[in-house]
Amino acid sequence: QVQLVESGGGLVQAGGSLRLSCAASGRTFSPNSMGWFRQAPGKEREYVAAIHWSSATTVYADSVKGRFTISRDNAKNTVYLQMSTLKSEDTAVYYCAASISNIHWRPSIAGEYDYWGRGTQVTVSL
């Protein structure tokens, strides 16, 4: 059973930076892609970024493009989200997700992901 554990959340001032990590369990972990989503209170889950595991191709939501960077470390079964120039609207619980499917790559669709972490809180102060 695959388990994902996020870490690195916390409090940061607007304009600051944080790096989130998501570590996956399992020796045979081999996802098609991994992604980051976020959810603010009263809001629906929102796509943030995704990375294709083998090619390292990355895609981003327009709201974070140029500020966030997603990357991965195959040997550590870990995906990262480097967040810079943070804004108050970035405040949310951030979730990592893994997709095992290799038929299509639709990274922005939450329903395409098979495994989810429990989330880590990111709070950006004014």
Q: What is the pLDDT of residues 76-98, one digit of tens each?
A: 999 999 999 999 999 999 999 99
* pLDDT at residue number 75: 87
The span from the CA of 27 to the CA of 89, in Å, is: 37
Q: What is the pLDDT of residues 90-124, one digit of tens each?
A: 999 999 999 998 777 899 999 999 999 999 999 99
Q: What is the pLDDT of residues 5-54, one digit of tens each?
A: 999 999 999 999 999 999 998 767 888 999 999 999 999 999 999 999 98
* pLDDT at residue number 94: 98
The span from the CA of 57 to the CA of 106, in Å, is: 13
Return left, alpha or beta for 56; rule: phi > 0 is left, psi -120 to 50 is alpha, else beta. left
